[in-house]
Amino acid sequence: MKNQTSSETASILGNKDTDIIVIGSGIGGLSCAALLARYGFDVTVCESHSIPGGAAHAFERDGFQFDSGPSLYSGLSYSPSANPLRQVLDAIGEELPCKTYNTWGCCLPEGDFDTSVGDDQFCEVLKRFRGDEAVAEWRTLQRVMEPLARAATALPPAALRFDIGAIMTVSRFAPSLFQHIADIPKLTGPFSRIMNGVIKDSFIRNWLDLLCFLLSGLPADGTSAAEVAFMFADWYRPGVVLDYPIGGSGALVNALVRGLERHGGQLMLNAHVEQIFVEEKRAVGVGLRGGKQIKARQAVISNASVWDTLKLLPQGVLPKQFQEQRQATPECDSFMHLHLGIDAQGLCCDLACHYIVVNNWENGVTAPQNVVLVSIPSVLDPSLAPPEKHVIHVYTPGNEPYDLWKGMNRKSEEYAQQKQLRAEVMWQALERIIPDIRSRCDVTLVGTPLTHERFLRRHRGSYGPAIPAGKGFFPGSSTPIPGLLCCGDSTFPGIGLPAVAASGMMTANTLAPLHKHVQMLQDIG
């Protein structure tokens, strides 16, 4: 990023005009802004935090580089890719060097084992734990999912836009879509509808519930079949690899910021948006903390959550029914985080980069503190930690109830004690991998739902909407206010990076001149 300070940027842009304002520099907002800049718009991104990236930002402590959020990536190390985030990077002309790998560790009630992406290795796990009948069921599911995976990836998100121009941008993929026309309806509704017709084995059902939870924050009966089909296309095929960006999630964020700035866009840090201005029923700009104003000639795009966006609008500008529906959007629970910088001397050399820990299947994958994820990215990228050290990120993914923390004083003894108590499940999960972990720590940081709420400006520290497949629709990017659009995890099914990148791309495409959108599709192949 440029060395210009946030205050300098604010003084340059304060009380001036720009074409488009993007509120928030999460991956959805940066994807949207960078692509808009590529299309030739004058774009200004307003970020409340001192670091860009939203839930995917990176930070440093005592020489350790930590990922604040996502740690499992795929489809980034090659092009063309079905991953919308890779499509954004291709569109803005940015490279993202990655380390590739294919194996992660599992610590499940049945035992500990390593598993790999690809079409075969999981069958070895099934044969060991469940026998030949389970292998046969999994093979049947793979055959069922194969055409659905092709259907789910037949239309790249890069082709989508939310206006009449979509007829032209989608039409170039019509032959591919027509080949899968019989399978496309099967992608609607929950994945459980497909799973229940094929899978009887309890271990496989639990495994699929777990994968669905990691995709959407919901088990199989709440996760769309399309999301799972995309995952099968991405993970369970011959020769597939997983990716880790060299430099961590910060490298990904920096690539998007580089693309934004290289195409003429601007990022303002420490620029907290307090309100969206609406004049004559149209969004026309934003007001920043401190009194500065930025006017938008064409649009304001909110990368804040659906709930937080409502807080920025003047009373009465939205239809009452629309506001109530948006406010009532169900939410995923929050997170607990454990960021550790440790002494790695004497550790075994075959640590995996990632581990999934499940304590009890009977409680369900969404139960509080039942699923714990562990990431040790310095196994792949030693530059993230000092010599003979490791950086570790442990978290409970979207299963920590906010109400346990609501109203607590973050400086109180009660808060400190609860942090220690609620972090214990993460320590215990990590001890299954590194038994003496507590004696190795040079840096120890514990994050809570209040940390999420404060630093990420997230309503109730939430991970995003929890809308069960077939029982509701994601709010989408449009609003009743002309000139006001939204992007991010509140607008597109799936709460991970591909979903938010897709949302940002589609919102940008909607504002782009049709000929420039078509040219972008041609450029990225």
* pLDDT tens for each residue of 456-474: 888 999 988 888 888 877 7
Model pLDDT for residues 171-200, shown as the tens digit of each residue: 989 998 899 998 888 888 899 999 999 999
| Dihedral sign computed on CA atoms, order 518, 160, 27, 234 | negative
Closest alpha carbon to 50 in 261, 252, 272, 253? 272
Which residue bears the tokens 């996760």? 223
343 CA to centre of own chain = 30
Following DSSP, what letter does each residue of 148-189 receive, concatenated?
Answer: HHHHHTSS-GGG--SSTTHHHHHHTTHHHHHHTTTTGGGGSS
Q: How much is the average pLDDT of 46-53?
A: 96
Q: For the stretch 248-265, what's the b/e string if a residue is b when 16 or more beta carbons lie within 10 angstroms of its beta carbon?
A: bbbbbbbbbbbbbbebeb
Half-sphere exposure of 420 (CA within 13 A, CB side): 6
pLDDT > 50? residue 243:
yes
The model's pLDDT over 145-173, given as tens digits with 9 standing for 90+, comes to 999 999 998 999 899 998 899 999 999 89
Contact predicate 380/99, CB 8 Å: yes
**What pLDDT score was predicted for residue 495?**
67
Residue 13 has what pLDDT? 45
How far CA 171 is from CA of 65, 155, 163, 165, 178, in Å, comes to 44, 10, 14, 10, 11
State pLDDT tens for residues 81-137: 989 999 999 999 999 999 999 999 999 999 999 998 887 889 999 999 999 999 999
pLDDT one-digit tens code per residue, 305-345: 999 999 999 999 999 999 999 999 999 899 999 999 999 99
> What is the tally of helices (H) and strands (E) in the chain?
17, 19
258 close to 91: Cβ distance less than 8 angstroms:
no
| Pairing label, strands 389-400, 371-375 | antiparallel
pLDDT at position 2 over 60? no
Amino acid 6: pLDDT:
40
Predicted TM-score of the model (pTM): 0.93
Pairing relation of β-strands 111-116 and 103-108? antiparallel
Cα angle 137, 141, 145 (rounded to 5 degrees) comes to 175
Structure tokens at 319: 């239809």
Q: Is the pLDDT of residue 3 over 80?
A: no
Non-local CB neighbours of 316 within 8 Å, separated by 6+ positions: none
Strands 103-108, 58-61: pairing is unpaired
Is residue 489 a contact partner of residue 476, using CB atoms and an 8 Å limit? no
Say if residue 449 is preceded by a cis peptide, omega within 30 of 0. Answer: no
For residue 12, pLDDT over 50 is answered with: no
Residue 7 has pLDDT above 50, yes or no: no
Split at pLDDT 50, 70, 90, the class of 15 is: low
Fold of 6-56+83-95+246-329+464-524: FAD/NAD(P)-binding domain (3.50.50)
CA gap 348, 226 in Å, rounded: 39
Q: What is the DSSP letter of 26?
A: B
pLDDT attached to residue 365: 95
pLDDT given at position 235 = 85
Residue 61, burial from CB neighbour count under 10 angstroms (0-12, 13-18, 19+): middle
What's the pLDDT score for residue 301? Answer: 98
Q: Are 491 and 475 in contact (CB under 8 A)?
A: yes
pLDDT band at 11 (very low <50, low <70, confident <90, very high): very low
User: How buried is residue 169: exposed, middle or buried, by Cβ count under 10 Å (0-12/13-18/19+)?
Assistant: buried
Give the percent of the chain with pLDDT over 90.
78
Which amino acid is residue 419, in one-letter code? Answer: K
Give me 443's structure tokens: 């840096």
Nearest-angstrom CA–CA distance, 505 and 492: 11
80 within 8 A of 248, measured Cβ to Cβ: no
* pLDDT (0 to 100) of residue 71: 78
pLDDT of residue 307: 93
Percent of the chain with pLDDT over 70: 97
Q: At 502, list the tokens.
A: 């897709």
Query: Pick from 157, 82, 84: which is nearest to 510 by CA?
Result: 157
DSSP of 394-463: EEEEEEE-GGGTTT--TTSHHHHHHHHHHHHHHHHHHHTTSTTGGGSEEEEEEE-HHHHHHHS--GGG--
347-370 confidence digits (pLDDT tens): 977 899 999 999 999 999 999 999
Our CA angle for 11, 17, 21, nearest 5°, is: 90
Question: CA 438 → CA 412, 426, 431, 442, 444, distances in Å?
Answer: 24, 11, 8, 10, 10
For the chain, residues classed under CATH 3.50.50.60 are 6-56+83-95+246-329+464-524
User: CB-based contacts of 105: which residues, under 8 Å, 6+ apart?
Assistant: 112, 113, 114, 352, 354, 355, 356, 433
Under 8 Å between Cβ of 415 and 408 = yes
Which residue type does 392 have? I
Task: With H, G, I as helix, E, B as strand and everything else as coil, classify residue 525.
Answer: coil
Residues 181 and 237: their CA atoms lie apart, in Å, by 22
Residue 354 token pair = 């990632």
Look at residue 72 in the predicted model and tell me its pLDDT: 84
For residue 229, pLDDT over 90 is answered with yes
User: Could you write out the DSSP letters of every residue in 38-49?
Assistant: HTT--EEEE-SS
Mean pLDDT computed over 56-83: 91
